[in-house]
């Protein structure tokens, strides 16, 4: 009995030694072979983001380090591109930053191969909302039109465009514009690409633009600078007169077709003279011909007028203050020695400075021969002064040939 027991123990012990020896030999000939590979991570369920107008901002691609182990004989046929699958499942994630786990599995790998590590095991993913905004297209110009021509108001069609992209990119947009070169001397219309920049003037890339080009109409006109002609209507009240009038500015620059070369001045719309009594500085409108406009449409035209009331003033002259002109030297004068009253009319400012000496009343005896004559009393012409009456209007004078004793 003891002998049988000892034989069984010996057999078990022999088997154990055989296993150990086999493992040792196999370890020497076919050892475990750990390997580490860099593997690209596939983003999955992106369509779930698309359905909610979401987009991945960062990272654009991910690589992880995957450790695997297996017997050398098995690992010799291992291909990481075919046998390792690394995925980032984006289902259920929303706008913002999220730590998403990396899922790594083995596909069609040899038996006995297993994963030992994945680094990093999580990836920080930034997701943003895709937004659409309407923007006004500004128009910039380069160069200038030729001398004698004026650029009108440029118009873009359409006036606005849509930009679409991640919220942060759309928020960067500071200016949407097209650049129009100026060189032609006639109105033209062309298409220009839309440009998008941030506040630093750098181009914002990655956005969708609808439409990406706009048509710009560039109106070019002939221009000319012409004097302003003030047109008045109605009459001032009796005894009132306009003593001075100025228009500011005295000229304006207009633009239009080739017909503007036919104009010599630009008239105002009729100005009621009576309005200037209460408002001597009056803003007026221009009566622009059809097809003509101001280069500066906001320019103010102001008429400044001085209107004064006419008054009367009377001067008295004795006979010695009446001048005699053109008398025949061979004739002696006998005549009326009475005083002469002269009434004049003018503005207060003029009459205040008017003196008798400036009026210089006189009678003209030119071509008068011996005898009795009625001679009109005359007065010098003075600007701004009207002679209302001369009393008497004539003098009776007698011309006699001088007797030499």
Which backbone phi and psi does 234 adopt, to 5 degrees? 70, 175
> Is residue 280 scored above 70 in pLDDT?
yes
Tokens of 41: 């991570």
Q: Are strands 160-166 and 188-193 parallel, antiparallel or unpaired?
A: unpaired
35-129 and 137-218 in the same fold: yes
Displacement of CA 379 from its chain's centroid (Å) = 64
When pLDDT is cut at 50, 70 and 90, the band that residue 10 belongs to is low
Residue 201, SS3?
Answer: coil
User: Taking the CB of residue 255, how many other CB atoms lie within 10 A of it?
Assistant: 20
Tokens of 263: 């104009």
Facing residues of 102 across strands?
88
Distances (CA, A) of 366 to 31, 170, 369, 370, 381: 153, 99, 9, 12, 19
Q: How far apart are CA 193 and CA 235, in angstroms?
A: 60
**CA dihedral (348, 354, 355, 356) positive or negative:** negative
* Inter-residue contact 172 to 204 (CB < 8 Å): yes
Q: For the residues 85-99, what does the mean pLDDT come to?
A: 94
* Inter-residue contact 119 to 38 (CB < 8 Å): no
Tokens of 343: 């009434």
Given the candidates 3.30.70, 2.170.120, 2.60.40, 1.10.730, the CATH classification of the domain at 137-218 is 2.170.120
* Inter-residue contact 85 to 107 (CB < 8 Å): yes
Distances (CA, A) of 259 to 6, 150, 184, 194, 222: 133, 14, 19, 36, 9
Q: How far apart are CA 146 and CA 154, in angstroms?
A: 17
Map tokens 């004793």 to a residue: 405
Q: Considering only 23-32, 217-226, 318-327, which range has the smallest mean pLDDT?
A: 23-32
When pLDDT is cut at 50, 70 and 90, the band that residue 402 belongs to is confident
* Inter-residue contact 335 to 397 (CB < 8 Å): yes
Tokens of 118: 């994945």
Q: Considering only 60-64, 174-178, 183-187, which range has the smallest mean pLDDT?
A: 183-187
When pLDDT is cut at 50, 70 and 90, the band that residue 404 belongs to is low
* Inter-residue contact 290 to 250 (CB < 8 Å): no
Stated length of the chain: 405
Report which secondary-structure segment, H or E, holds 49.
Answer: helix 46-51
Sheet strands (E) in 206-265? 208-210, 213-218, 220-229, 232-233, 240-248, 251-256
How many alpha carbons lie under 13 Å from residue 52 in its C-beta half-sphere?
Answer: 16
Facing residues of 394 across strands?
376
223-308 topology per CATH: RNA Polymerase Alpha Subunit; Chain A, domain 2 (2.170.120)
Tokens of 145: 């039109």
Which CATH code for domain 35-129? Answer: 2.170.120.30
* Inter-residue contact 361 to 323 (CB < 8 Å): yes
pLDDT tens column, 94-136: 999 999 999 999 988 888 888 999 999 999 999 999 999 999 9
Q: Which residue, 125, 132, 133, 131, is CA-closest to 46?
A: 125
Confidence (pTM): 0.58
Q: Considering only 24-28, 80-84, 216-220, 280-284, which range has the smallest mean pLDDT?
A: 24-28
Given the candidates 1.50.10.10, 3.90.226.10, 2.170.120.30, 3.30.365.10, the CATH classification of the domain at 318-401 is 2.170.120.30
> Average model confidence (pLDDT) for the chain?
88
Domain ranges of the chain: 35-129, 137-218, 223-308, 318-401
Cβ neighbours for 327, distance < 8 A, ≥ 6 positions apart? 333, 365, 368, 399
Distances (CA, A) of 161 to 153, 175, 178, 237, 317: 20, 12, 12, 61, 88
> Is residue 373 scored above 70 in pLDDT?
yes
């Amino acid at each position: 009995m003891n002998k049988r027991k000892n034989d069984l123990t010996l057999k078990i012990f022999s088997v154990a030694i055989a296993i150990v020896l086999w493992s040792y030999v196999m370890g020497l000939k076919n050892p475990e072979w750990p390997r580490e590979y860099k593997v690209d991570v596939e983003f999955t369920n992106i369509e779930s983001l698309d359905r909610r107008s979401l987009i991945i901002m960062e990272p654009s691609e991910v690589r992880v380090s995957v450790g695997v182990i297996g017997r050398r004989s098995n690992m010799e046929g291992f291909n990481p591109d075919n046998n390792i699958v690394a995925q980032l499942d984006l289902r259920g994630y929303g706008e913002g930053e999220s730590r998403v786990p990396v899922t790594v599995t083995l596909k069609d790998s040899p038996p006995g191969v297993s994963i030992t590590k994945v680094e990093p095991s999580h990836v920080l993913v930034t997701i943003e909302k895709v937004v659409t905004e309407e923007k006004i297209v500004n128009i910039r110009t380069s160069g200038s039109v030729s001398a004698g021509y004026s650029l009108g108001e440029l118009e873009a069609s359409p006036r606005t465009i849509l930009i679409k992209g991640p919220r942060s990119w759309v928020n960067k947009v500071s200016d949407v514009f097209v650049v129009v070169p100026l060189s032609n001397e006639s109105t033209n219309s062309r298409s220009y690409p839309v440009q998008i920049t941030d506040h630093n003037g750098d181009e914002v890339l990655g956005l969708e633009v609808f439409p990406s080009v706009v048509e710009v109409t560039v109106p070019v006109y002939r221009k000319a600078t012409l004097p302003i002609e003030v047109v008045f209507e109605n009459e001032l009240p009796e005894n009132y007169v306009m003593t001075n009038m100025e228009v500011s500015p005295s000229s304006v620059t207009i633009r239009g077709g080739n017909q503007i070369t036919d104009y010599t001045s630009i008239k105002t719309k009729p100005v009621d003279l009576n309005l200037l009594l209460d408002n001597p500085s009056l803003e007026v409108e221009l009566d622009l011909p059809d097809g003509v406009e101001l280069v500066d449409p906001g320019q103010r035209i102001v008429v400044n007028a001085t209107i004064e009331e006419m008054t009367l003033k009377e001067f008295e002259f004795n006979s010695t203050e009446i001048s005699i002109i053109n008398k025949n030297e061979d004739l002696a004068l006998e005549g009326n020695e009475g005083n002469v009253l002269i009434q004049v009319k003018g503005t207060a400012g003029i009459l205040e400075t008017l003196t008798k000496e400036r009026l210089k009343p006189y009678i003209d005896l030119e071509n008068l021969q011996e005898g009795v004559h009625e001679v009109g009393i005359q007065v010098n012409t003075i600007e701004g002064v009207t002679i209302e009456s001369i009393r008497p209007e004539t003098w009776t004078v007698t011309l006699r040939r001088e007797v030499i004793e």
